[in-house]
Structure 1
Amino acid sequence: MGSLERSATRVQGFQDKEMDFQLIRQLGSCQTGGASIGQCLHLAAKIEDGNPGAWVKEFSNLARQQEEEARQRLEKGHRISSGELFLMACNSFRAAEYYSSCVVPDHARLGMSSRDCFLKAAECFDYNLTHVRIPFGEEALPVYLFTPEKDTRKEKTLLIVSGFDGTLEEEFMARGMAALKRGYNVLLFAGPGQMDSCRFIPQSSFIPDFERVVSTVLDWLTARKESDPQRTALLGISFGGYFATQAAAHEPRIKALIANSPIVDLHAYMNAFAGFDPAVMPDEDDFTVAEIPVIPAEIMNEQMKLMSTNLITRFGRGSMKKSFVYMQEFRVGEHLKEIRCPSLALLGEGEGEEPQRQFEAFCRGVSGKLDSCRFTAAQGADSHCQVGNLSYSSGVILDWLDECFS
């Protein structure tokens, strides 16, 4: 008997949990044009399980191929096809950027390549884009403002801030496009220490008083004719759940808040990932970025070395212990009750005990009207930030926001 075989591609991911999540993250972007299932699975079969360097190599190679093909199609006048390929190249560069060390020049180069491809793609969109960097102390905040019409008018606006490793371009694909389809202005921005800011200033580091960032962005936005000040919402993704919550507790110009997921105590949240509190480790056990390469592999594998390097660098405190001590300042605390605008709290049921605890603390603590949603595996959305079903998550967020602003 013969056998019927319809494809050489196989649906198999990674044993390494973090790398498997990153694969799901990339596959999830297929819904919004950021990747193709076939190419993701093809690369997954080539990448050694848990090997960050192999991931970077394969996704950066794919990104360059997609970018080159996009340019060729644009030269032939195929605007739509070119825009689609530039968007995929942007997201492939982002995937490579995620697993690259932020202390090597290639990290910023991958990030800027992602940004460049995105701006090329945006030239093919039927939306108006303004991209600027707004002065903020000694830095400048990267901002994209999209409006649904070429001729601008006052509209409701959704501000979106990502977290530790998300980017403006990724959030445009994940949630911004869905908001534009529903008639929203979409403002994507990043503060100090976030991926987009570090592309320009590698030494940029996170700050706990993120309301200063949001106030600066709102000052710029409200001076523009596209903005309706009474219909301005803020959405925080991942670590951005802290940024957005902290900002809404201090900034009354936020008229609706979506926390996906709510983080009210970043130190406790990150302790859950570490499995202990590095802030109380003995000084002799502390380590710096320079010491990470000589840590034995049986104590810290290559993926953990990479993540530790990026964490220490992005918090700007020089060592692992000092980074976690600094995280103790990233707490909303009693200011949570100052959030009086309507709020939506989101959580995937697969996110674990500490995210669940902080979700519940957020729901108990805010003073304004509260709604919440727990996404399930049956909905394909139980993972962190619902990366497995972005369109469903966006529907929940934007239907709720439509009702708030109706």
Structure 2
Amino acid sequence: MSAIFKDELHEQLGTWPLAYIPYGGADYGEVEAIARTIGDGDDALFYDAWSAAADRMMVDGRQAETQGHRASARECFLRAACFYGKSFHPLFGQPVDPRVRLGSQKQIAAFERALALSEPAIVRQHIPFEGTSLLAYVIPAQGCANEVRPLLIFNNGYDGTITDLFFASAVAASRRGYHSLIFDGPGQGTTLIDHGITLRPDWENVISSVMDFALTLSNVDPLKIVLCGWSLGGYLAPRAASGERRLAACVADPALASVADGFRTYVMKLGATPDEAASLGDLPEALMERLTHIVANDRKLTWSIAKRGYWVNGAGALRDYLASVEHYTMDGRIGDIHCPTLFTMAEHDTLAAGTQNFFDALRCPKTLIRFSSNQGAGEHCEMRNRSLVNRRVLDWIDEVLA
């Protein structure tokens, strides 16, 4: 598929909504029109173009609502939420850009306006967590809101927002008859943007609070709660499953046993010895300077590491960041996963490089599903064919919980 956006980072971030077409997040022509508007423009124009498209959707939604067309209004508000959510991604970093805060606020406002038009209406929830709370929504099974059914907890990764979870996974789960719980954990969405709470490796403690909340829901079968993580959530979900025994099953898309291992491989290609690469925070100064130069001169690396990575991990410099990622590891914990576990593995997803070894080390009931480019699903998180991965994952959950 040829690129839609002229800038490589804009293409990476701006094509996410294509995955959401089957679930009401966008249509191809809308994304293509936004890309044409941006053209050779910078990140500011990226923000403006997505925001303007979202604003138009809000106008259409309000007009439809005034005329009594609730279904159309809901659709417009959902698309506006998706577009606002995309607008601020290239602006990630510290200090937090005011446009990131505004875009996030507009995203949540549009999302909640859409959810209020659902049948029945869906309202925001707050999960108590270590003296604060995590924004959450319970998306009921379609047509079965009050029935006791299994619950799927969807877990984000590095830079996804709560509406990404909705479009990428929760809509498909609802149509299949599952209740869903989507939330912003530490380092994610509103928890990071509004409260400055950064990511943490001990995700079992996060999911423990999420599970406590889930078990208060009257329409949830307490013995059929499944945790599903995508992107960096492919580390967070298995890490949580290694400590949270109340889960009925776990899904990782893709599975990631170590965040640091990818960096280790890279620095050894640059000349680091295995002993030097074993502790990324202690790399020789000359190598650290070379890495800093490489990151600073690569637009995508600048965004993913120096802007997004430093902010999300609470790091001030590259050495601090590399030291922090060492803690995101399943070392010594893989054997503690006891629930049935599904790993996905897309053909060209670099994050899945260690998925096979992780899978081989599991001692619980386990399944590995591979996805290929021939299926249009060979890229990270199968973003070019989310409907395929949703079908396969939900089929597996159906069987496990039967």
TM-score by length of 1: 0.88
Q: Distance in 2 between matches of 1:299 and 1:306?
A: 9
Q: Check if 1:393 corresponds to 2:389.
A: yes
Residue of structure 2 in register with 1:334 after alignment: 332
Residue of structure 1 in register with 2:149 after alignment: 155
Moved more, 382-391 or 27-36: 27-36
Residue of structure 2 in register with 1:349 after alignment: 347
Q: Check if 1:368 corresponds to 2:364.
A: yes
Q: Check if 1:251 corresponds to 2:244.
A: yes
CA 1:176 to 1:151, structure 2 compared with 1: closer, same or farther past 3 Å?
Answer: closer
Q: Please list the CA deviations of residues 167-192 of structure 1 after superposition, one character each: whole Å capped at 9, or x if unmatched.
A: 12111111101111111110112211
CA 1:383 to 1:18, structure 2 compared with 1: closer, same or farther past 3 Å?
Answer: farther
Residue of structure 2 in register with 1:323 after alignment: 321
Letter in 1 for 2:324: Y
Q: Please list the CA deviations of residues 53-90 of structure 1 after superposition, one character each: whole Å capped at 9, or x if unmatched.
A: 33222111111111122112212211111111111111
Q: Distance in 2 between matches of 1:155 and 1:238?
A: 26
CA 1:87 to 1:271, structure 2 compared with 1: closer, same or farther past 3 Å?
Answer: farther
Residue of structure 1 in register with 2:274 after alignment: none
Q: Check if 1:188 corresponds to 2:189.
A: no
Counterpart among 167, 170, 188 of residue 173 in structure 1? 167
- Unaligned 5+ segments in structure 1 are 1-9, 288-294
Q: Check if 1:85 corresponds to 2:76.
A: yes
Q: Secondary structure at the match of 2:150?
A: strand
Q: Distance in 1 between matches of 2:231 and 2:144?
A: 31
CA 1:119 to 1:395, structure 2 compared with 1: closer, same or farther past 3 Å?
Answer: same
Coordinate RMSD, CA, aligned: 2.6
Q: Distance in 2 between matches of 1:136 and 1:41?
A: 40
Residue of structure 1 in register with 2:57 after alignment: 66
Moved more, 26-35 or 230-239: 26-35
CA 1:395 to 1:50, structure 2 compared with 1: closer, same or farther past 3 Å?
Answer: farther
Residue of structure 1 in register with 2:273 after alignment: none
Work out whether residues 348 and 385 of structure 1, in 8 Å CA contact, stay in contact via their aligned partners in 2: yes
Counterpart among 85, 89, 92 of residue 94 in structure 1? 85
Residue of structure 2 in register with 1:134 after alignment: 127
Alpha-carbon distance, 1:161 to partner? 0.5
Residue of structure 1 in register with 2:136 after alignment: 143
Letter in 2 for 1:154: V
Residue of structure 1 in register with 2:208 after alignment: 215
Q: Please list the CA deviations of residues 222-263 of structure 1 after superposition, one character each: whole Å capped at 9, or x if unmatched.
A: 122112121111100100111101000111111111100101
Letter in 1 for 2:18: L
Letter in 2 for 1:72: Q
Alpha-carbon distance, 1:19 to partner? 2.9
Work out whether residues 126 and 150 of structure 1, in 8 Å CA contact, stay in contact via their aligned partners in 2: no
Work out whether residues 52 and 99 of structure 1, in 8 Å CA contact, stay in contact via their aligned partners in 2: yes
CA 1:272 to 1:175, structure 2 compared with 1: closer, same or farther past 3 Å?
Answer: farther
Moved more, 371-380 or 277-286: 277-286
- Unaligned 5+ segments in structure 2 are 271-276
Q: Secondary structure at the match of 2:36?
A: helix
Q: Secondary structure at the match of 1:99?
A: helix
Work out whether residues 267 and 328 of structure 1, in 8 Å CA contact, stay in contact via their aligned partners in 2: yes
Alpha-carbon distance, 1:136 to partner? 1.4
Q: Secondary structure at the match of 1:378?
A: helix
Moved more, 86-95 or 147-156: 147-156
Q: Distance in 2 between matches of 1:297 and 1:397?
A: 38
Q: Distance in 1 between matches of 2:3 and 2:327?
A: 41
CA 1:345 to 1:303, structure 2 compared with 1: closer, same or farther past 3 Å?
Answer: closer
Alpha-carbon distance, 1:52 to partner? 2.5
Q: Distance in 1 between matches of 2:37 and 2:373?
A: 28
Alpha-carbon distance, 1:16 to partner? 4.6
Q: Distance in 2 between matches of 1:297 and 1:270?
A: 13
Q: Check if 1:25 corresponds to 2:16.
A: yes
After superposition, residues 221-260 of structure 1 pair within 5 angstroms as 221-260=214-253
Work out whether residues 6 and 39 of structure 2, in 8 Å CA contact, stay in contact via their aligned partners in 1: no
Q: Distance in 2 between matches of 1:127 and 1:376?
A: 38
Q: Distance in 2 between matches of 1:158 and 1:127?
A: 19
CA 1:377 to 1:131, structure 2 compared with 1: closer, same or farther past 3 Å?
Answer: same
Q: Distance in 1 between matches of 2:120 and 2:265?
A: 41
Residue of structure 2 in register with 1:198 after alignment: 192
Q: Distance in 2 between matches of 1:396 and 1:305?
A: 35
Letter in 1 for 2:214: L
Alpha-carbon distance, 1:13 to partner? 2.1
Q: Distance in 2 between matches of 1:272 and 1:70?
A: 49
Work out whether residues 159 and 308 of structure 2, in 8 Å CA contact, stay in contact via their aligned partners in 1: no
CA 1:269 to 1:72, structure 2 compared with 1: closer, same or farther past 3 Å?
Answer: farther
Work out whether residues 147 and 185 of structure 1, in 8 Å CA contact, stay in contact via their aligned partners in 2: yes
TM-score by length of 2: 0.89
Work out the number of aligned pairs and report it: 387
Q: Distance in 1 between matches of 2:295 and 2:308?
A: 20
CA 1:302 to 1:371, structure 2 compared with 1: closer, same or farther past 3 Å?
Answer: closer
Work out whether residues 144 and 177 of structure 2, in 8 Å CA contact, stay in contact via their aligned partners in 1: no
Letter in 2 for 1:85: C
Residue of structure 2 in register with 1:42 after alignment: 33
Residue of structure 2 in register with 1:404 after alignment: 400
Work out whether residues 133 and 140 of structure 1, in 8 Å CA contact, stay in contact via their aligned partners in 2: yes
CA 1:350 to 1:11, structure 2 compared with 1: closer, same or farther past 3 Å?
Answer: closer
Counterpart among 108, 114, 118 of residue 101 in structure 2? 108
Work out whether residues 145 and 219 of structure 2, in 8 Å CA contact, stay in contact via their aligned partners in 1: no
Work out whether residues 286 and 319 of structure 1, in 8 Å CA contact, stay in contact via their aligned partners in 2: no
